[in-house]
A and B are shown apart, each in its own frame.
Chain A
């Protein structure tokens, strides 16, 4: 009985702070058996198969191998001779749905720029599932994406990871079981947004004071729940003992729960290791400071986003097991991106750190494979030895790892979700197009058949060009 109460207590706590509210309702439709043969495959874990096959069954990867499968039963076979097969592309940094097209004030829902500390806002409450940019991203082979709040705030709020499927609701897109992320931001944006208003932060040191204050509050909140839990446990055990005759503990008052605090629930989720930190940070010196911040308060930074200067501290990033999500060649558009170089991604990779290509753009998300190609080429020109199969991890396996979903998708390994792209050419070629895109084994885009999802917004406005 005691044990049960403790368990219930724990569940009760999770129910408030981290439980599955606004749960995913995404369920993959039943998928036929599909066998893709004669394909060149990039597995997404750094390996490749020159001439092989991929067998999808009931939305999962059943088999992958070299040559031809032994027995081909009664199933639909796709001859991918001359074509390439990869895992579905994953973008770890997107604002589709919260900065949709068309982009007007009425649809701009990415930054809750009214306070620098807003871990209580959740990106999923901003995402418009009918954003016509989702189908465009699908045409670029993107099957999974993380949608983040913007970077106006030190703590921007929770991210949401979604499958790139047509749905009436965000819940219908939510990636089942994906952990939440917390968006944090370094540098120019928070200090600009709030400095302009004459409030903190207006400097980088102000940024750090803001982070530290919030984490101190989070530790206090975490402790208040721990105290409550201890008291509750004690109370419960006393209550069970009090059944014994002569006990004087019968009249003890049951401890009351601390008041829920949405801001703190997200931060404590990070401290407990349930929520992953995605930290917008350009400059190397600031990333090094953030690493120390994470050590001061005992949490792990999962990924630095943008990380334009990651190449200056690749050793630190590898040592601290932090991924860097980067652009291939965006640079110099703001002061803190002045030192961007095309070799950034391959340099991070070569140091043994986790490198990711991200977009942060409704245009870039349509061609993450091309961005990976540009970065790879720049690295090779610098003398780095990186294979295309390795570079493919930057937009598949490594991206899945940073989102905490690498056990479910991101590579063409047995048992994983059948999120798969068949490309017309090698995806490192500018001429390559995603010809068929599967999500959980279901064909969501087929170039030849003219099949693609159409958002509500596009109906009657853009459907005449559905053939493209």
Chain B
């Protein structure tokens, strides 16, 4: 946890924006009555004050930027709990994808942070949909342990990694059996063996260095990563769909007292909701994925989030792994509401819950002292026809100009009976 704070502080220190006052915000956030408009003061990358009819102290700089939200919705910056932005540019183009390692002898020890590209064109898109942070996850290519995810901010800055290694990802889905001989029996056996080996490694480091231990099935980097999983320093993100597999995995992990599992995908988690609530195990789901597309997902349904929340499970949403569909995060939250989840809980699933689940202190809430990620919307943030008007990350407004918006502007006049915008087809040096 210390490491998170240190890294976040580093990011904050680079932010040197003028203070901003957002007046008359309709704050959509847990514990607040959204009918009461508030004023939000941002300074040095943090929320300073959040209150009605805020009176500014004299100490606030005269460079203060004042924005009147005029009663529009304001939310914390949204957090996508599972995406590949920055790791994959064109999913169908293998050469642009760094989320899968196929032929290399490391597994849990791999870190996607080494492959992240802060200049991916996709990163500029995220804030235009209100998404300010994301968990960038690996998928398995050679082992059920796919490696470690990173948490990044979608600011477009080169130092956009908030937390390089925040979780080790373990895949137990139907198609992941091939990495362990083809049966779930071997999958779970080898996964637990890895954790056990990491403890033998931890307790015998000197012997390991001098090669006096019987051989391990994993490399040292993997053992180190799994050791952090066992100690609870890193989250163990378990990608699993079938209820039976969720039960088996949780039973197999009982011997590791400090482990912090988070279920990912978890199509049939609703069937074991009470156990998950009792074990305080959070669940990250892809709301829209409701087809029984394989025999692990026979229980797929749109009210998974509602049923889990009702049982007391902390739920967060992810866009989806293979496609560039992070644009659908608010849509997913809205669909969850249409299927029984409360608006408040849906909003939490893309703000404060992921912050809690991934250990992102000072994120996911608009409150004094918290990191200033926020979004001003032109309507209900979960509605399809609403969009962010402005998005702030670390106290800085994010530029909304994307490749996509430039393309739209270049060709707009064609649809009005005109010609291609020629000023955009030839570049002149200024």
Chain A contact residues, CB within 8 Å of chain B: 101-104, 132-133, 136, 188, 311-315, 329-335, 338-343, 347-348, 350-351, 362-363, 366-367, 370, 373-374, 376-377, 380-382, 384, 428-433, 457-458, 461-462, 465, 468
Considering only CB atoms, which chain A residue lies closest to B379 in the complex?
A377
Q: How far is the CA of A463 from the CA of B288 in the complex (A)?
A: 19
Q: How far is the CA of A346 from the CA of B386 in the complex (A)?
A: 16
Q: Report if A314-B292 is in contact (Cβ < 8 Å); known contacts: A347-B408, A431-B334.
A: no
| Interface range, B side | 35 or more
* Interchain CB contact under 8 A, B291 and A132: yes
| Shortest beta-carbon distance from B184 to chain A in Å | 17
Considering only CB atoms, which chain B residue lies closest to A104 in the complex?
B294
Q: Is B71 an interface residue (CB 8 A)?
A: no
Considering only CB atoms, which chain A residue lies closest to B385 in the complex?
A377
**B93 CB contact (under 8 Å) in A334, A340, A457:** A334
* Interchain CB contact under 8 A, A347 and B289: no
| Shortest beta-carbon distance from A376 to chain B in Å | 7
Q: How far is the CA of A433 from the CA of B297 in the complex (A)?
A: 23
Q: How far is the CA of A313 from the CA of B410 in the complex (A)?
A: 12
Q: How far is the CA of A136 from the CA of B291 in the complex (A)?
A: 8
The interface bits of chain B over 412-430 (1 if a CB of A lies within 8 angstroms of the residue's CB, else 0) are: 1011110000000000000
Q: Is B293 an interface residue (CB 8 A)?
A: yes
Q: Is B31 an interface residue (CB 8 A)?
A: no
Considering only CB atoms, which chain B residue lies closest to A312 in the complex?
B411
| Shortest beta-carbon distance from B288 to chain A in Å | 5
**A428 CB contact (under 8 Å) in B294, B328, B385:** B385
The interface bits of chain B over 316-333 (1 if a CB of A lies within 8 angstroms of the residue's CB, else 0) are: 000000111101100100
| Shortest beta-carbon distance from B334 to chain A in Å | 3
Give chain B interface residues in 279-321, CB to chain A under 8 Å. Answer: 288-295, 297-299, 301-303
**B291 CB contact (under 8 Å) in A101, A342, A432:** A101
- Which B residues touch A312, using CB under 8 A? 411, 414
**A334 CB contact (under 8 Å) in B90, B303, B408:** B90
| Shortest beta-carbon distance from B224 to chain A in Å | 35
| Shortest beta-carbon distance from B79 to chain A in Å | 19
Q: Report if A340-B404 is in contact (Cβ < 8 Å); known contacts: A334-B93, A377-B387.
A: yes
Considering only CB atoms, which chain B residue lies closest to A383 in the complex?
B412
| Shortest beta-carbon distance from A377 to chain B in Å | 4
- Which B residues touch A339, using CB under 8 A? 407
* Interchain CB contact under 8 A, B414 and A331: no
Q: How far is the CA of A380 from the CA of B322 in the complex (A)?
A: 29
* Interchain CB contact under 8 A, B292 and A333: no
Q: How far is the CA of A376 from the CA of B383 in the complex (A)?
A: 13
**B331 CB contact (under 8 Å) in A430, A458, A465:** A430
Q: Report if A333-B293 is in contact (Cβ < 8 Å); known contacts: A314-B415, A377-B384.
A: no
Q: How far is the CA of A461 from the CA of B339 in the complex (A)?
A: 21
* Interchain CB contact under 8 A, A430 and B383: yes
**B385 CB contact (under 8 Å) in A101, A367, A373, A462:** A373
* Interchain CB contact under 8 A, B91 and A334: yes
* Interchain CB contact under 8 A, B412 and A330: no
* Interchain CB contact under 8 A, A311 and B408: yes
Chain B contact residues, CB within 8 Å of chain A: 89-93, 121-122, 288-295, 297-299, 301-303, 322-325, 327-328, 331, 334-335, 337-339, 382-387, 404-405, 407-408, 411-412, 414-417
* Interchain CB contact under 8 A, A363 and B387: no
**B387 CB contact (under 8 Å) in A101, A330, A331, A381:** A381
* Given contact pairs A311-B408, A432-B338, a sample of 16 additional A-B residue pairs in the complex whose CB atoms are under 8 Å apart: A101-B291, A102-B294, A311-B411, A330-B325, A332-B90, A333-B324, A334-B93, A342-B327, A343-B412, A347-B408, A366-B290, A374-B327, A382-B412, A430-B382, A457-B292, A458-B292
| Shortest beta-carbon distance from B322 to chain A in Å | 8
- Which A residues touch B323, using CB under 8 A? 330, 333
List 11 contacting pairs A-B, 8 Å CB cutoff, sorted by A.
A133-B291, A311-B411, A314-B411, A315-B415, A332-B90, A341-B407, A370-B331, A373-B384, A374-B327, A430-B335, A430-B382
* Interchain CB contact under 8 A, A465 and B90: no
Considering only CB atoms, which chain A residue lies closest to B128 in the complex?
A342
Q: How far is the CA of A311 from the CA of B121 in the complex (A)?
A: 20
How many A-B Cβ pairs are below 8 Å? 142
Q: How far is the CA of A347 from the CA of B407 in the complex (A)?
A: 12
- Which B residues touch A370, using CB under 8 A? 331, 335, 384
* Interchain CB contact under 8 A, A462 and B299: yes
| Shortest beta-carbon distance from A385 to chain B in Å | 11
- Which B residues touch A350, using CB under 8 A? 415-416
- Which B residues touch A341, using CB under 8 A? 404-405, 407-408
**Top 8 closest pairs, chain A to chain B, by CB:** A430-B334, A334-B92, A373-B384, A377-B385, A351-B415, A347-B415, A350-B415, A101-B291
Most buried by B among A132, A329, A339, A350: A329
**B298 CB contact (under 8 Å) in A103, A461, A468:** A461
Q: Report if A335-B93 is in contact (Cβ < 8 Å); known contacts: A314-B415, A465-B301, A468-B302.
A: yes
Most buried by A among B294, B387, B414: B414
Q: How far is the CA of A347 from the CA of B412 in the complex (A)?
A: 7
Q: How far is the CA of A340 from the CA of B387 in the complex (A)?
A: 18
Q: Report if A331-B324 is in contact (Cβ < 8 Å); known contacts: A102-B292, A136-B291.
A: yes
Q: How far is the CA of A377 from the CA of B378 in the complex (A)?
A: 11
Q: Report if A333-B301 is in contact (Cβ < 8 Å); known contacts: A132-B291, A363-B289.
A: no
**A314 CB contact (under 8 Å) in B91, B385, B414:** B414
- Which B residues touch A133, using CB under 8 A? 291
* Interchain CB contact under 8 A, B290 and A428: no
| Shortest beta-carbon distance from A109 to chain B in Å | 15
Considering only CB atoms, which chain A residue lies closest to B337 in the complex?
A431
Most buried by A among B295, B297, B385: B385
Considering only CB atoms, which chain B residue lies closest to A313 in the complex?
B414
